[in-house]
Structure 1
Amino acid sequence: MPEKKTLSRARADKRAGKAPSTQAGEFVKEEIDHVRAGKHGVKSTKQAVAIGLSKARRAGVDLKPPKKGATSESTRKKAEKDREAGQIPAAARKSASKETTAKRSRTTTAVLKHEGKKSASRGALSAQAKSAAAKRPAASRSAAAKKASHTKGAAVRSAAAKKAAATKGAAGRKAAAKKAAHTRAARAHH
Structure 2
Amino acid sequence: MAAKSKTKKWSGKVTETSDALDLEKDVFKSKNPKEIAKSLKKSAEHSEKRKSSPYRSAMSMLTFYINRAGKNLTEHEKEPLEKAKNELRKLYGRDEK
Q: TM-score, normalised by structure 1?
A: 0.20
Structure of higher CA gyration radius: 1
Q: Which has the higher contact order (CA 8 A, sep 6+)?
A: 2
Q: TM-score, normalised by structure 2?
A: 0.32
